[in-house]
Each structure stands twice: as structure tokens, then as C-alpha cells.
């Protein structure tokens, strides 16, 4: 199946509506039964209440997934999505008291509960840590109600707007996804035209996108002030279950190694025999004609690489392809990009792709299936434990890409190997170095007290990107608008470093896998199955690594440098 089977969630909208009414009734009863009573419950009774709370949240997630996926597939369903988002917000009001009331219990009572909490221990420990940022129930209720018309509303506007934008290209109207794919064309004129068309449309919409970003920035600032966070980044770090020290170690180590990007692109410029490599040349293929790869072939390649690593990986991925977990092809009004949505622990993840038959699309398939495998395995630690921090959630996806790359190296003809290596390095640069640039760009944006002008957004974007490319890529004047289509800046501020985190972590883990073999596989599957039930620091410590230490991140950088070294050796052999 190449489209989502939403019937696994609900047969139709009518069944969804009935389910939402039942969920609301359960939430009301839960509030009636437990509000203002947690102090009187024994530890075991509290865990019983917690399990009931978890079940209701899981049901909400199942219903919310259905409404979101209908919107992701067709932006005309924005009203439908908004209607149910409001309903879920109303239901959440009945549940607000639970976590807040838990944090009013005295320390001795909380310690007693933690002793019998089992898989919920890490979740409860994090609730205690967040106590100082929580407000009163009345205040939390107001923020919950207002959330639909604050940042979430602007996120929805951003999605709906970009799903409708069409870009002019050779007498055709193309979607953002289709236009971006033109940047991988072997024909320089096509790349140049595509970049010009993208730039023109982004510029035409810059007033709106700047306004949206300013509202996201202001909303985040206000909420962080209300909740007494030290910085606008802190809630993301807390949500990711890591420290700023760890993030800074990652950023510092990566920034010190931007020369790897510059070195690679200077070599690419020579190979392509170009006097100047412009931003629209970055993804130019090494071969004049890239073979189109049908989805059936991509599926076969991904499954083979998973099977070579683990039968468990293969079985889950096969289910995903065969049982309607994936929506594969671009369509009018369908959201761009790709994702894997965890849905609920009693169903399965849903994977969105926009497959355009390019080699890079195969890696996207592996990436999102890696997420899906991670999400599926972590169901065993329950809904509350399966919520994986962004930092470790990207590990499974990037690891899956490395499995595919290693497999493809073995079967790719010698005259195509250089292109394969180049493509992989460019993917790593996009996932690692580029995401750090995104993060430092965000730091600049959010450091400004007032709203930014369009020119300030553009200026910060060009300054940060220049640090990565150095003397290797000439950034055209029009490139300054390209910050404005990045959805993560709008949906999840400071999300992007998680990609870098996952990429470097995987490079270090993959080096360990090559050394340890079978014993590593068992540890890795345990790591994925733990979901978010343990901290990233504790999970990664099981492999013998310390994420707060810059020397750990350098291990991953060294693996990237080794890959670049192999690329250079391949080039020498080709020249000889």
C-alpha cells in the first residue's frame, strides 16, 4: 500500500466523533475521581491513577493523530483539524490537575511513589524537575486555552500557506517539494532557474513569513518569562532531557570542524570543473544523468539493509510497507517534507514521504522507517515512557541511513561510487553542520529583544551560513531569503540541533558497531526499546560514552573525517 490506512485509527470521521465523546467522558470522570485526592492515595493507588491517566492520554493521541494526518494529506482539512484540536484542548483541561497536584505532594510522599513507579520513574522524576516552571491550575488552564490562537495558530498558518504556494518553472506550477528536487539536477541552468524561482516566491512572501516568525519568537519569550526559564532555549533542553552544557559541547565541536565542509566543496568544485560553486550548485550530481529509482526498488533496498542488521528491523519495516503505514507520493495540498508520527501505543506509527524517485529519496525512506521502528519498539514502555526526546529520536533514523549506505557501497558500480560517497557526505553535512548553523541562526534571532525586520532575518541567515561554507561556496544575494521556508523555526524552536546530535551520536555508535558486531546489536535494540523512559545521558552511557564531554562529539567528527578521506582516495583512483 502506498497510502495511509487511517482505518487502523478510525473507520471514518463519525467513529472519531463518537470516540472523542467517550474520551471526554473518561477525562471528566478521572477529574471527579482524583482531583484534590492525590494526598490521600497510597503509593500503589497513585500508580493505578497514573495508569488510567496514561490510557486517556494515549486515546487522545490516537484521535489527534487521525485529525492531523487528514490535514497533512490535504490542507483543505484545516478546519477539521482546528475543530478537533479545540476539542482535545478542552479535554486536556480536565486532566491538567494531575501533574500539577503531584508536584504539590511533599518530598517523602513523592519518594514513596518513586519506589514503586517501575517504568514511570523517569517520567515522574522529570515532573519533579519541572515543578519550578509550572503555574497554578487556573493559569495553566488559561495558557492551554490560548495555545490554539498563539504559536499553534501561526504554525498552522505557515503550513497552510506553504502547501498552497506554487513556484513558476518552465510554464509549470510546481510545489515546494518538486522545486527543491530541481536543485539536484545535473543541468546547471535548471538548478539556477529553480533557485531563482524559489527565491522570487520566498521574497514575495517574506512579509508574512517574517511576521509569523516574529510572533513565534514573541510567544516563546512571553511563555518563558511566565514560567521563569533562564533562557528561551531551556524548555527545549528540558524537553530533550539534556543540559545546555551538552548542547554547547556539540555546537563547539561541530563549529571547530567547519573546515571539513569547505574542504569537500572545494574538491567538488574541481571535479565539476566550475570556476565558482554557487549555493544552487551544492547538490549538483557527479553524474550527468541520475537514474530514476522506482519506489518498489527503494523499498527492496531499504528492507535488505534492515534485514542484514536485524530480522526485527526487517519485520517492522515490512509491516510498515504492507499494512498502510506509509503515504508515499507528493500530491496537491499535501504537506511537504517527511515524518514518522508515533500515533498511539495500541496502533502503529504513520510515515509521510514525498518520493520523487531520486537516490536521496531512498535515504529519506530509510530515515523515516528508522523513526518508525524506534517508535514501534518503544511501545513496550507505555505511552508516557515512549515519548522519546528529539536528541535520541534522531539516532534511529540516521543509523538506518548508515545501514543503507553501507549496503549500497557493496553493490554500487565503481564508476558510481564517488557519487554515492559525495551524496552521503552532503547528507551528513546537511544533517550535522547545517543544523548547527540553523541553531546559531535561531540563537541570534531570539537574542533580539524586539521584533526583527526582514533585513535582519536575512542578514543573520547569511552571516551564519558563511561560517560553514567559508571560501568554498559563493552564496548569491537571493540566498538570503531561504531561512523563510524552514518549518522547524516555526513549529519547534531550537529543534534543529537534535539532528546534529543524532548524526554525531550515530557516527560514534556506528564506529562501535563495526568493532563489536552482534553484541552491539543487542545493546542497540535495548536502547531503542527504552524510548524516553531513561535520560539520553544514561542511555548513551550504556555504550561507554559521555555526552557532556567534547571529546565524545569529536569521535563522531573523526568518523565524518574518515568518510571524507575515503572520498578523496576514491577521487585519486578515478583521476589516476
As a whole number, mean pLDDT of residues 54-82 equals: 96
User: Residue 446 CA to chain centroid, in angstroms?
Assistant: 20
Q: 314: how many CB neighbours lie within 10 A of its CB?
A: 18
pLDDT class of 291 with cuts at 50, 70, 90 = confident
Nearest C-alpha neighbor of 358 from the set 155, 146, 180: 180
As a whole number, mean pLDDT of residues 245-269 equals: 95
Q: What are phi and psi of 352, to 5 degrees?
A: -105, 130
Residue 39 has pLDDT above 70, yes or no: yes
Q: What's the CA gap between 283 and 188, in Å, rounded? A: 10
Q: What's the CA gap between 504 and 509, in Å, rounded? A: 9
Task: Give the ranges where 310-432 is alpha helix by DSSP (H).
Answer: 311-322, 359-377, 382-386, 390-411, 414-431
46, containing H or E segment: helix 43-73
Instruction: Dig out the grid coordinates for 318 from the structure.
Output: 515490512
Instruction: Dig out the grid coordinates for 232 from the structure.
Output: 528561551
Q: Would you state the pLDDT for residue 76? A: 93
Q: Is residue 136 classed exposed, middle or buried when 0-12, 13-18 and 19+ CB atoms within 10 A define those classes?
A: exposed
**Angle CA(303)–CA(305)–CA(311) in degrees, nearest 5?**
70
As a whole number, mean pLDDT of residues 56-81 equals: 96
Q: What's the CA gap between 381 and 528, in Å, rounded? A: 11
Residue 306 has pLDDT above 90, yes or no: yes
| Percentage above 90 pLDDT, the chain | 78
Q: Would you state the pLDDT for residue 360? A: 85
For the four alpha carbons of 390, 391, 394 and 396, in that order, the dihedral sign comes to negative
Q: What's the CA gap between 428 and 377, in Å, rounded? A: 26
* pLDDT tens, residue by residue, 370-423: 999 999 999 999 999 998 887 888 889 999 999 999 999 998 888 889 999 999
Q: Would you state the pLDDT for residue 287? A: 79
pLDDT class of 94 with cuts at 50, 70, 90 = very high
Tell me, what DSSP letter sits at residue 133? G
Looking at every residue in the chain, the average pLDDT score rounds to 93
**Angle CA(4)–CA(10)–CA(12) in degrees, nearest 5?**
90
Residue 538 has pLDDT above 60, yes or no: yes
Q: What's the CA gap between 507 and 398, in Å, rounded? A: 9
Q: Would you state the pLDDT for residue 146? A: 82
Helix, strand, or coil here: 227? coil
The answer to whether 539 and 532 have CB atoms below 8 angstroms apart is no
Nearest C-alpha neighbor of 317 from the set 226, 404, 395: 404
β-pairing, 172-174 vs 167-169, is antiparallel
Q: pTM for this structure?
A: 0.82
* pLDDT tens, residue by residue, 440-455: 999 999 999 999 999 9
The answer to whether 295 and 351 have CB atoms below 8 angstroms apart is no
Q: What's the CA gap between 230 and 163, in Å, rounded? A: 36
As a whole number, mean pLDDT of residues 312-316 equals: 97
As a whole number, mean pLDDT of residues 316-321 equals: 98
Residue 249 has pLDDT above 80, yes or no: yes
The label of the residue with cell 561507554 reads: 544
Q: Would you state the pLDDT for residue 299? A: 97
Nearest C-alpha neighbor of 476 from the set 167, 163, 194: 194
Q: What is the DSSP string of 179-224?
A: HHHGGG-S-HHHHHHHHHHHHHHHHHTHHHHHHHHHHHHHHHHHHH
Contacts for 493 with CB less than 8 Å, ≥ 6 apart: 216, 217, 220, 232, 236, 442, 446
Among the ranges given (375-379, 431-435, 495-499), the one the predictor scored with the smallest mean pLDDT: 495-499
Q: Domains in the chain, please, with CATH? A: 6-149 (1.20.140.70)
First to last CA, the chain: 47
* pLDDT tens, residue by residue, 150-180: 888 999 999 889 888 999 999 999 988 889 9
Q: What's the CA gap between 380 and 386, in Å, rounded? A: 8
Q: What's the CA gap between 295 and 34, in Å, rounded? A: 51
* pLDDT tens, residue by residue, 7-32: 999 999 999 999 999 999 999 999 99
Helix, strand, or coil here: 172? strand
Q: Is residue 477 classed exposed, middle or buried when 0-12, 13-18 and 19+ CB atoms within 10 A define those classes?
A: exposed
The label of the residue with cell 552564496 reads: 475
Instruction: Dig out the grid coordinates for 141 from the structure.
Output: 488552564
As a whole number, mean pLDDT of residues 39-63 equals: 97
Q: Is 405 left (phi over 0), alpha (psi -120 to 50) or beta?
A: alpha
Among the ranges given (252-261, 382-391, 557-566), the one the predictor scored with the smallest mean pLDDT: 382-391
Q: Would you state the pLDDT for residue 576? A: 57
* pLDDT tens, residue by residue, 128-152: 988 888 878 788 888 878 887 888 8
Q: What's the CA gap between 50 and 216, in Å, rounded? A: 33
Amino acid at each position: 500500500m502506498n497510502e495511509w490506512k487511517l482505518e487502523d485509527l478510525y473507520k471514518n470521521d463519525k467513529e472519531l466523533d463518537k470516540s472523542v465523546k467517550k474520551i471526554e467522558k473518561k477525562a471528566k470522570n478521572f477529574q471527579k475521581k482524583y482531583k484534590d485526592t492525590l494526598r490521600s492515595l497510597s503509593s500503589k493507588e497513585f500508580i493505578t491513577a497514573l495508569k488510567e491517566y496514561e490510557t486517556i492520554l494515549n486515546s487522545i493521541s490516537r484521535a489527534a493523530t487521525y485529525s492531523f494526518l487528514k490535514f497533512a494529506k490535504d490542507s483543505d482539512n484545516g478546519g477539521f483539524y482546528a475543530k478537533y484540536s479545540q476539542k482535545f484542548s478542552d479535554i486536556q483541561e480536565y486532566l491538567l490537575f494531575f501533574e500539577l497536584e503531584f508536584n504539590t505532594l511533599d518530598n517523602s510522599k513523592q519518594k514513596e511513589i518513586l519506589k514503586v513507579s517501575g517504568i514511570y520513574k523517569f517520567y515522574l522524576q522529570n515532573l519533579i524537575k519541572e515543578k519550578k516552571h509550572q503555574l497554578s491550575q487556573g493559569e495553566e488552564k488559561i495558557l492551554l486555552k490560548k495555545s490554539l490562537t498563539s504559536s499553534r495558530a501561526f504554525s498552522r498558518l505557515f503550513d497552510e500557506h506553504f502547501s498552497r504556494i506554487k513556484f513558476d518553472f518552465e510554464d509549470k506550477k510546481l510545489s515546494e517539494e518538486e522545486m527543491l528536487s530541481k536543485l539536484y539536477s545535473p543541468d546547471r541552468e535548471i538548478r539556477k532557474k529553480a533557485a531563482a524561482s524559489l527565491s522570487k516566491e520566498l521574497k514575495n512572501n517574506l512579509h508574512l513569513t517574517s511576521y509569523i516568525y516574529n510572533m513565534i519568537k514573541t510567544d516563546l519569550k512571553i511563555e518563558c518569562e511566565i514560567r521563569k526559564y533562564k533562557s528561551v532555549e531551556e524548555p527545549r533542553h528540558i524537553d530533550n532531557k539534556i543540559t545546555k552544557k551538552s548542547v554547547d559541547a556539540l555546537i563547539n565541536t561541530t563549529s571547530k570542524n567547519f573546515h571539513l565542509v569547505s574542504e569537500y566543496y572545494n574538491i567538488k568544485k574541481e571535479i565539476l570543473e566550475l570556476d565558482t560553486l554557487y549555493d544552487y550548485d551544492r547538490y549538483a550530481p557527479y553524474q550527468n544523468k541520475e537514474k530514476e529509482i522506482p519506489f518498489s526498488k527503494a523499498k527492496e533496498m531499504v528492507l535488505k539493509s534492515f534485514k542484514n542488521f536485524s530480522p526485527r528491523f526487517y519485520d517492522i519495516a515490512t509491516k510498515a510497507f504492507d499494512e498502510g503505514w506509509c503515504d508515499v507520493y507528493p500530491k496537491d495540498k499535501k504537506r511537504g517534507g517527511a515524518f514518522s508520527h508515533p500515533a498511539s501505543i495500541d496502533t502503529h506509527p504513520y510515515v509521510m514521504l514525498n518520493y520523487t524517485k531520486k537516490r536521496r529519496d531512498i535515504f529519506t525512506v530509510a530515515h523515516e522507517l528508522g523513526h518508525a521502528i524506534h517508535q514501534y519498539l518503544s511501545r513496550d514502555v507505555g505511552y508516557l515512557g515512549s515519548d522519546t526526546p528529539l536528541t535520541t529520536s534522531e539516532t534511529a533514523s540516521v543509523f538506518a541511513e548508515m545501514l543503507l549506505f553501507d549496503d549500497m557501497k557493496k553493490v554500487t558500480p565503481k564508476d558510481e561510487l564517488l557519487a554515492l560517497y559525495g551524496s552521503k557526505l552532503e547528507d551528513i553535512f546537511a544533517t550535522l553542520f547545517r543544523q548547527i548553523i540553523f541553531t546559531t541562526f535561531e540563537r541570534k534571532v531570539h537574542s533580539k529583544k524586539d521584533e526583527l525586520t526582514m533585513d535582519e532575518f536575512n542578514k543573520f541567515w547569511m552571516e551564519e551560513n558563511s561560517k560553514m561554507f567559508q571560501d568554498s561556496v559563493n552564496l548569491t544575494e537571493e540566498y538570503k531569503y531561504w531561512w523563510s521556508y524552514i518549518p522547524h523555526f516555526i513549529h519547534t524552536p531550537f529543534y534543529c540541533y537534535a539532528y546534529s546530535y543524532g548524526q554525531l551520536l550515530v557516527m560514534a555508535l556506528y564506529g562501535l558497531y563495526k568493532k563489536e558486531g552482534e553484541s552491539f546489536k543487542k545493546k542497540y535494540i535495548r536502547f531503542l526499546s527504552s524510548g524516553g523512559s531513561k535520560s539520553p545521558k544514561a542511555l548513551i552511557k550504556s555504550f561507554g560514552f559521555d555526552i557532556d564531554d567534547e571529546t565524545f562529539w569529536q569521535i563522531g567528527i573523526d568518523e565524518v573525517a574518515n568518510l571524507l578521506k575515503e572520498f578523496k582516495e576514491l577521487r585519486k583512483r578515478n583521476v589516476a
